[in-house]
Amino acid sequence: MSTMKMTTAGLLLTSFLVLTACGATSNNNSGASGSDSNAPANTANANADAAPAETETETPKEPVTIEFWYGLGGKLGENMQTLIDKFNASQSDVIVKPVVQADYSETEKKLQAAIATGQVPAAVLSSNVDWARKGYYAPMDDLIAAQPDFNKDDVVPTFLEQGQVDGKQYFLPMYGTTQVMYYSKAAFEKSGIKAEDMTTWEALAAAAEKMTVKSGGKTTFYGWEPMWNQDNLIDAAYSKGGKIISDDGKTIMIDSPEWISTWEFFRKAIFDDQTMRIHSGGQGWEYWYKTIDDVMKGMAAGYTGSSGDQGDLDFTKLAAMEQPGWEGVGAGKPVAQAILAGIPAKASPEQQQAALQWFAFFMKAENTAFWSMNTGYIAVRQSALDDPAFVEYSKANPQSTIPLKQAAHASKPFQDPTGGKITDALKIAADKLEISNEPAEKVLKEAKETAQRELDKLNK
């Protein structure tokens, strides 16, 4: 809305004109300059003459429009749109334009192409430590400091730390995630399985075998479905005490007994026993939703999936539990990871400030609590746990507390010092095991050789 502002020059000029006008009429109206009531006409004329100089109309400031790239579908995409709309309606300085990608991987691929052309979005739900070191992302420390209400101390420390590279804050956590277990209440009840007894993978394997249904030598109902890719396998290996790299950072350790026995456990269940199944391939998150559908449609007893799946699940039929540990080892130690957002360095300073304003809004206690309640992801601010709406929601929806409980004893995500080459080797190994039925020892030793070569190059 336009406003009328008195400029310094206008004030001086007005004073001069008023004095001049008073002086010009003093002969006819003795003493009028000292009495407002005795000189209305002269004062009005003076103001009329001075009006063009004493005020100016402020041109309305155009809002900064920024693109926000993210790869979220289903209920996640709907809830992201809800918060974008809420932000856009809450102020007039910034407009966030959503640009939806197929998934996280496609977001990074398209960002790489955008960086090459210089036509980058201002905000992106993606992070890459190697790219930050190369200067592709902008450090946010100064931008955060300019936001007086941001309060870094309230952000869950482990999530905030995951966005730091070489002591600088390059990424901010939008939400946290960890992979938990979702199971069919009916399937467990039918077979007499109790969730509280599923504290080890060995116990779950026995339960999966009991619940599996076969006909004509083929499985028609699976006892469990892990999620395709290396993540579930890594979680289980961590829970047995496995490490990817030695503490001194020089040796790849993915061919240790902890890794081999863990991965072989899953290969055997998938191919030999046929009590578990993997959906792989497809476009974007297709494999993920096929896995969920198997449980929802009564074709599997349960699956291992993201805490973020909760927004897509029917908890009148399903329930959640923590990932198990291993006999003689202890509680599970799956990864709890922050989903991070960054600002490309090639975005203009004005757009970078706008992007930080959007991130700060998303991270507000009430908004991160909303995201947690509606998606199942973990809120990034500690104060969100005291949000009245969240407190009431967790009482009525106990599954919402499972990711928080698991995060309390979770592992930090692996930071690949080679820029992703070790992670790629593990992904290839997982595909060979889960899709091609190659033995764990073989695929892990091959992966170690590849990963060790890359690590050795770094350590030279």
| DSSP per-residue letters across 183-209 | EEHHHHHHHT--GGG--BHHHHHHHHH
CA–CA separation, 190 vs 185, rounded Å? 9
Among residues of the chain, what percentage have pLDDT more than 70?
87
For the beta carbon of residue 420, count every other beta carbon within 10 angstroms: 14
Does residue 48 sit within a domain? no
Does residue 29 sit within a domain? no
337-367 per-position pLDDT tens digit: 999 999 999 999 999 999 999 999 999 999 9
393 and 257 assigned to the same domain: no
Whole-model pTM above 0.75? Answer: no
404-455 per-position pLDDT tens digit: 888 878 898 998 999 899 999 999 999 999 999 999 999 999 999 999 999 9
Strands 218-221 and 213-215: antiparallel
Does residue 24 sit within a domain? no
- Phi/psi zone of residue 283: left (φ > 0), alpha (ψ -120 to 50 degrees), beta? beta
Question: Which residue, 407, 430, 445, sits at the end of a domain?
Answer: 407
* Strand, helix or coil for residue 376: coil
Positions in the chain whose pLDDT score sits under 70? 1-58
Give the long-range contacts of residues 402-405, CB within 8 A, separation 24 or more: 402/180, 402/307, 402/320, 402/321, 402/322, 403/176, 403/177, 403/178, 403/180, 403/307, 403/336, 403/376, 403/377, 403/378, 404/378, 405/322
Q: Which residue has the tokens 């198997």?
A: 294
Does residue 236 sit within a domain? yes
Q: Which domain range does residue 212 map to?
A: 178-333+414-459
205 and 322 assigned to the same domain: yes
Does residue 101 sit within a domain? yes
205 and 302 assigned to the same domain: yes
Does residue 15 sit within a domain? no
For the record, the structure tokens of 190 come out as 């039918």
- Least Cα distance to 201 among 64, 371, 90, 324 occurs for 324
275 and 241 assigned to the same domain: yes
111 and 252 assigned to the same domain: no
306 and 383 assigned to the same domain: no
84 and 158 assigned to the same domain: yes
274 and 403 assigned to the same domain: no
User: What are the backbone dihedrals phi and psi of residue 19, each rounded to the nearest 5 degrees, phi first?
Assistant: -65, -40
CA–CA separation, 222 vs 276, rounded Å? 6
Q: Which residue has the tokens 């595909």?
A: 431
329 and 342 assigned to the same domain: no
Number of domains in the chain: 2
Q: Which residue has the tokens 């509606």?
A: 374
Does residue 268 sit within a domain? yes
CA–CA separation, 279 vs 41, rounded Å? 88
Does residue 172 sit within a domain? yes
89 and 211 assigned to the same domain: no
How confident is the model at residue 312, as a pLDDT?
84
373 and 292 assigned to the same domain: no
User: What are the backbone dihedrals phi and psi of residue 439, each rounded to the nearest 5 degrees, phi first?
Assistant: -60, 150
How confident is the model at residue 58, as a pLDDT?
66
Which DSSP state fits 110?
Answer: H
Handedness of CA 101, 103, 104, 105 (dihedral sign): negative
- Phi/psi zone of residue 126: left (φ > 0), alpha (ψ -120 to 50 degrees), beta? beta
The CATH number covering residue 390 comes to 3.40.190.10
453 and 373 assigned to the same domain: no
How confident is the model at residue 57, as a pLDDT?
61
Question: Which residue, 392, 407, 422, sits at the end of a domain?
Answer: 407
